[in-house]
Amino acid sequence: MIVKKRLVVSVVSLIVVFIIATLTFSALTAEEIIKRRDDNEHYETVRAEAEMVILNRNRKIAKTMTTYGQGDNGLVIFSNPRDRGAKFLKRGDDLWMFFPEAEDLVKISGHMLNQGMMGSDFSYQDMMESDKLTDLYQFKLIGEAEIEDRPCYVLEGTAREGKKVSYYRRKSWVDKERFVGLKEELYARSGRLLKVMYVTKVEKFEGRWYPMVSVMEDKLRKDTRTEFIIKSIEFNPKLPAGTFTLENLK
């Protein structure tokens, strides 16, 4: 009788240990969540056709562009009639601009990169930054929530020491199933909310989920928001040599 009782206790204990172990090992850490998001959203090279719709009070302005990205470098070529031919090239911390009616290239850097690109709520840095989030921020998991009926992990990232970032702190809502950021709150070091970004459309490309329509609201401006719509995207294409050179910009 006693032997039988001991056997039952042992089996139950084993089951409990097994359940705890399973739960422990299956729960993802913040680092793993962000890494899986980076795996989806980060790329070696990329080429995309996109449209940016700027809504400022009653005004609606649309701009179309082709963008290229590779590591730290980014290139945007505008194609809508009013901006046709304007090209922005980001190389490291500098941004070079080419305008068809200008005889020289224009270089901007530093805090200017945080200004709204072409009057939009996205800054140059937002548009052309391609570093992995895990390299820039130290994340911690702070909870779970639902965005548009989709369960999400809620993470908070603080800039890693020595890393140059536009936003000191960011709160991210990452889709639990697809590992795509669905919402982002971007804060200054002072704690002030600077921007909020929502992803309203996600699509699967070449085995990875990618945000196709994002909406950014600059909280320092009144009544404005900008939609960034990716019309088509190609991951890791072979970009021509010299795509990110100043010579190519002219």
The residue ranges that bind other proteins (CB under 8 A) are 54, 56, 59, 61, 63, 82-83, 86, 97-99, 101-104, 106-108, 112, 117-120
In the complex with other proteins, the residue whose CB is nearer, 102 or 220, is 102
Q: How far is the CB of 249 from other proteins (least distance, A)?
A: 12
Burial of 216 (0-12, 13-18, 19+ CB in 10 A): buried
Contacts of 25 (CB under 8 A, 6+ apart): none
Beta bridge partners of 187: 169, 193
Burial of 207 (0-12, 13-18, 19+ CB in 10 A): exposed
User: What are the DSSP calls for 134-185, one per residue?
Assistant: HHHEEEEEEEEEEETTEEEEEEEEEEPTT---S-SEEEEEEETTT--EEEEE
In the complex with other proteins, the residue whose CB is nearer, 19 or 246, is 246
Q: Are 51 and 201 in contact (CB under 8 A)?
A: no
In the complex with other proteins, the residue whose CB is nearer, 15 or 102, is 102
In the complex with other proteins, the residue whose CB is nearer, 98 or 137, is 98
Q: How far is the CB of 20 from other proteins (least distance, A)?
A: 57
Burial of 131 (0-12, 13-18, 19+ CB in 10 A): middle
Give the Cα separation of 104 and 107 in Å (integer): 9
Query: Do the strands 193-205 and 181-187 form a parallel or antiparallel pair, or are they unpaired?
Result: antiparallel
In the complex with other proteins, the residue whose CB is nearer, 61 or 147, is 61
In the complex with other proteins, the residue whose CB is nearer, 83 or 131, is 83
